[in-house]
Structure 1
């Protein structure tokens, strides 16, 4: 028995270790085939601390409390119980073997048993969770839809087998030691010790040989399995996650949101004024991703948290962040022999590999090498175009990923190649890009229309270059934004905010016709060249106007000005209007007095919340308004649900599945509000459209309205006027209703 156990265990160990080392080296070589990644090794001390915090502390996982806690115990068990594997090897040769020094130390033995039991219970919980939300029950709503179930099952039952072997071995060890009475050394395995107490010493020794061999074989069979499956992320992430978290974009651990990264080629930003002949413009082949991108793909656990939060997937569209990453992973590894042989295409699309060397590759590898990265199923594409263009760049996937995969950056990089090189993008987006280039706004309206919102105000709004020379005599430049200046419903927010600034005595000015689109929709669509053109012009304008402090009502403008303009040298102090209003109320410069009766639910704009972590100021403003009762939607704050307008989707029609804004409005209606509030002009338009559609179908009360936080605050700050039916409950104390028959401006709106 002992000899057979030794031989089998050592054979499995040899094969397992060789395969794992070989495949680990292969994964490293595939990752290294990517392009240079800049800024991934700065501040190594902070990165190491972040890695420890996210792994040992499970900071991302514990956002899903039960699953996170269970996974933590399994994670700890996977590491700590390695010592029991060493013990098992010793027990093959000597049934009495124990680790030197600590092997018979009661605290170590109790800890071993405790971790074994908690690991067993925790993996049972995870198995139960997987079965409870299995696609055969939950269908598309299951976060495991599309995951490789056999791999997950194999890993789960491997853990069960190892934990059971540890506990059985503890019982046999106690029986071999002749433990008769309860002992602290076997505190949690004593019932098993008693169960084996009647066996002879020889039988116990043989049992130890057999169970120790079983533990080793189970562990090494796992090694063999992952050694034969380089794409088995549900297992390999146990090793790669440490590196992926260490090399994440932000050393401090903040999600890879906010600013998009500039187009890089060869590890350097592309100079759009004088690009190099070999510069890559985005990602047109898997080898164009950076090595960090390829490491992202190899690290995906297929847990589906990103998928469960994705607004596109939740409304029936083909985009699943998880399936996008796993599709890229499988393609990268299938194409790896070609890449590692020196293959690939340069920026001009020329093949690097000599014809003879290419012909020598296996047919399956050559077929994979010929697949377009983005293309329809008929074209053999790895990523379908509908997947690519369904993304709203809301960042929910990045926020939820427990191993810091940067989905949005990868999607944008592929969009960039499609727009700049292939000129392949939705036609209506082309209208928007043309309007941006010719008129400086997505709707193609004349720049003189940017002052229309000021008409009828009982105070003058200073305009730089017209009524004032520059911004040296005012406190803030108010960046109105295209929607705030040109979209009828968004204009109400603009006017309300301007009135509040006037009431508070804040000196501000606007650029008026001198303001142009920040470039956000162009950049999110993938047209980095147009973004550079718009941003550079705006930075020059702001610099000439002596801008230092900027306040914006649009989170997209806020994000671009604050986080992306510094990439081009434009550094300004930028805040969102809810942050400023919250400060003014706290300082007593604005005093909400008039009660607004009714229930209000607040919708978190993605580019204000997830991308910039501004969650509290809008809620504090609402909390200070007398009479307001607030209620939160189920998905709020960092798990808030997108309105559907981000990622330039505002100018692209939804032709697949359910409209995202409809889904969000239905969630708002589920908490029975009188008013839906937000802090973004895009969200205002999308939610208003959704509410109007529901009202027309009789599914929402006619009194329900969508307003910006600034509108609500202005209503409470100003003295009430006796206008009937101006609030949902008809008390005459709330904000003026938004006209349901005012449509948003379409991409094809006439140019003046």
Structure 2
């Protein structure tokens, strides 16, 4: 028995370790075939601290709102590392059934903790298995967050954990019976009852045989798992146990923040592209999987297939083809399948010609060559890796990034693919082309003359200072008010502009606007993928703003549009413009707190507040709008079930405001359904895009009689003004 156990265990361990060493080399080569990514090692102390916090406190897992799942996963995760020592013990027991790890093996705290995490880990894995079985795709369809996940791999991992933990408990029971005859002690706190129940009266030779058999079973289960993941390098549900630590450490923001707010600059070979004089061999966007940065390939390999991103995605929730999870899985599988072709020197030059010779590729299997020939984005007829319809369904709301427990940067990857489609292939929805031309020619997405930006000024009964006409020096003012294209030109958004300007006037805040000198920040163009147009707009605006502010140390800008706010605050520093930018709700909240604005008139209405994605998730501004609403007498705010970090998009971001929704349910309709479930008199928001999208849905419902004519969608500033006046 003992000899067979030793031969079996050492044999499978040798095979497992050899295969694992091979796959680690292959995994490293696959990930590093991506392009250089600068800035991923900055501030190593902060990165390490964040890794410890995310790992130890499981902060990312808690974002879904079900703490029991996070707690269960934490125990399973910690057990995986802590109970590795029991594997060492099992090897020792093959040679001596009473073997324990030197020094700590008979230390009761170590023994107690080992048994504690075994028992709690066992309960946790059974709970997680039950949750998976209760949410199977075959019963819940698309509403299951596991839809599209490779289910056999998840089952295999779960049953492996279950089997290992059961083996540990049985071994501990046999050890207890062998050493102290099942008497209770802290060393065998949990296993003493097992010893008494299973091994009472068993002979020493029987206990030896049990230990050899169960130790061998434990080793076989463990190394069978190692062999399985070595043969399946795309088995993310297992590989994330190793890669998640790296993915979190190398995340985009070294302060631990999510990869939201500013998009990545457009890089070629790891260097920013000079759009005024780009290199001849510059690569624009991502047209092939190897064009992704190495962090992107690490992202794809790290995906746990948990489906949290899919569960929150507004496109997926409204029957559109985009699932952030399925996108990542498709790119992961393609990258790993294509890798041998890249390793052999394969690839296309800028002219689309194969760089490798036939001699270089003669050893590459035909299925790998076929995989390499697949277009990255296209139609099913093209056998594309990722569907073009899915690519253009993204609103860049960031819900996927916010929820991902391993810090995958979905939005940046989607925009990188869009950049290639727009700038190289000229393949994008036709209606978006009109928007791009309007920005390029007129400085706004609607194509209106610049002088129209001042029309709203004549509609108010107080003076609105215009820089260059009424104000020559911005040192005379407190804030430059960036009105934005929507706030200047869209009738519903102009109501917000006028309300906010009047509140500033009442509060005695010195402000000025740029008027006709203001131009689109370039946000829609950048999110669509036209980086060149964004750069043109951003550089033009930065040049104008820098000249306007001059040497003034305080460069304060306030914006009513979260998209403008995000561009000015987070993206303009990439092109040389650094300003102190706040959102209008932040300023209004401060003015109310300081007593410069006093809401006194009661507004007896039920209200529900909708979080704009680019104000909330992208910039973490959740509190100021709610504080303003709370200070208006009579207003009663009822939160929607998806709010704050889990808020649901209005459907306008990612340049979707200028593209028709032809697939599935309209996103703004879904969001208004959620809003109406709170029985509101008013739906409030703090973004002109949201105002338009939610307003369109309410208008349609008024026409069909679903909601009363009194129902309205208003900005927080409009509510505040009503109460202040």
**Same topology, TM > 0.5:** yes
- The residue matched to 1:157 in structure 2 has which SS? helix
**Do the aligned residues in 2 keep the contact of 1:84 with 1:166 (CA within 8 Å)?**
yes
Output the TM-score relative to the length of structure 1. Answer: 0.94
- The residue matched to 2:37 in structure 1 has which SS? coil
- 1:92-146 CA-to-partner distances (Å, cap 9, x unmatched) read 1111111112111211111111100111100011111111111122110110000
- Structure 2 counterpart of 1:722: none
Equivalent-residue separation in structure 1 for 2:513 and 2:182 (angstroms): 86
Equivalent-residue separation in structure 2 for 1:178 and 1:66 (angstroms): 37
| Alignment partner of 1:586 is 2:593 | yes
- 1:613-632 CA-to-partner distances (Å, cap 9, x unmatched) read 00000001011111111111
**Do the aligned residues in 2 keep the contact of 1:484 with 1:490 (CA within 8 Å)?**
yes
- Structure 2 counterpart of 1:531: 534
* Equivalence map 1:132-281=2 (5 Å): 132-195=134-197, 196-281=199-284
| Alignment partner of 1:659 is 2:666 | yes
Equivalent-residue separation in structure 1 for 2:236 and 2:127 (angstroms): 21
- Structure 2 counterpart of 1:732: none
Equivalent-residue separation in structure 1 for 2:363 and 2:226 (angstroms): 31
| Alignment partner of 1:452 is 2:446 | no
- The residue matched to 1:316 in structure 2 has which SS? coil
Mind listing any 5+ residue stretches in structure 2 that lack a counterpart?
A: none
Q: CA deviation at 1:459?
A: 1.1
Equivalent-residue separation in structure 2 for 1:704 and 1:104 (angstroms): 71
Q: CA deviation at 1:346?
A: 3.4
Q: Which stretch shows the higher mean deviation, 667-676 or 60-69?
A: 60-69
* Equivalence map 1:484-499=2 (5 Å): 484-499=487-502
**Do the aligned residues in 2 keep the contact of 1:178 with 1:197 (CA within 8 Å)?**
no
**Do the aligned residues in 2 keep the contact of 1:287 with 1:344 (CA within 8 Å)?**
no
**Do the aligned residues in 1 keep the contact of 2:345 with 2:360 (CA within 8 Å)?**
no
- Structure 1 counterpart of 2:23: 23
Equivalent-residue separation in structure 1 for 2:183 and 2:26 (angstroms): 53
| Alignment partner of 1:549 is 2:556 | yes
Q: Which stretch shows the higher mean deviation, 171-180 or 557-566?
A: 171-180
| Alignment partner of 1:609 is 2:616 | yes
- Structure 2 counterpart of 1:736: none
Equivalent-residue separation in structure 1 for 2:182 and 2:548 (angstroms): 87
Q: CA deviation at 1:474?
A: 1.2
Equivalent-residue separation in structure 2 for 1:493 and 1:340 (angstroms): 56
Mind listing any 5+ residue stretches in structure 1 that lack a counterpart?
A: 719-752
- The residue matched to 1:205 in structure 2 has which SS? helix
- Structure 2 counterpart of 1:53: 53
Equivalent-residue separation in structure 1 for 2:12 and 2:457 (angstroms): 78
- Structure 2 counterpart of 1:620: 627
**Do the aligned residues in 2 keep the contact of 1:233 with 1:300 (CA within 8 Å)?**
yes
- The residue matched to 2:680 in structure 1 has which SS? coil
- 1:288-336 CA-to-partner distances (Å, cap 9, x unmatched) read 0001110001100000000000000000000000000010000001100
Q: CA deviation at 1:199?
A: 1.2
* Equivalence map 1:494-573=2 (5 Å): 494-546=497-549, 548-573=555-580
Q: CA deviation at 1:359?
A: 4.2
Equivalent-residue separation in structure 1 for 2:132 and 2:70 (angstroms): 13
**Do the aligned residues in 2 keep the contact of 1:278 with 1:348 (CA within 8 Å)?**
no
Q: Which stretch shows the higher mean deviation, 457-466 or 612-621?
A: 457-466
- 1:502-533 CA-to-partner distances (Å, cap 9, x unmatched) read 00000111111111100000000000000011
Equivalent-residue separation in structure 2 for 1:197 and 1:444 (angstroms): 86
**Do the aligned residues in 1 keep the contact of 2:182 with 2:193 (CA within 8 Å)?**
no
**Do the aligned residues in 1 keep the contact of 2:605 with 2:681 (CA within 8 Å)?**
yes
Q: CA deviation at 1:469?
A: 2.2
Q: CA deviation at 1:46?
A: 1.1
- 1:562-591 CA-to-partner distances (Å, cap 9, x unmatched) read 000000001111100000000000000000
- Structure 2 counterpart of 1:110: 112
Equivalent-residue separation in structure 2 for 1:113 and 1:479 (angstroms): 62
Equivalent-residue separation in structure 1 for 2:702 and 2:122 (angstroms): 52
Q: Which stretch shows the higher mean deviation, 326-335 or 197-206?
A: 197-206
Aligned CA RMSD, in angstroms, stands at 1.0
Q: CA deviation at 1:180?
A: 4.4
Picking from 116, 124, 127, the partner of 2:126 is 124
**Do the aligned residues in 2 keep the contact of 1:484 with 1:553 (CA within 8 Å)?**
yes
Equivalent-residue separation in structure 2 for 1:347 and 1:569 (angstroms): 31
Q: CA deviation at 1:458?
A: 1.2
| Alignment partner of 1:8 is 2:11 | no
- Structure 1 counterpart of 2:414: 411
Output the TM-score relative to the length of structure 2. Answer: 0.98
Q: CA deviation at 1:13?
A: 0.3
- Structure 1 counterpart of 2:687: 680
Q: CA deviation at 1:693?
A: 2.1
Q: CA deviation at 1:192?
A: 0.7
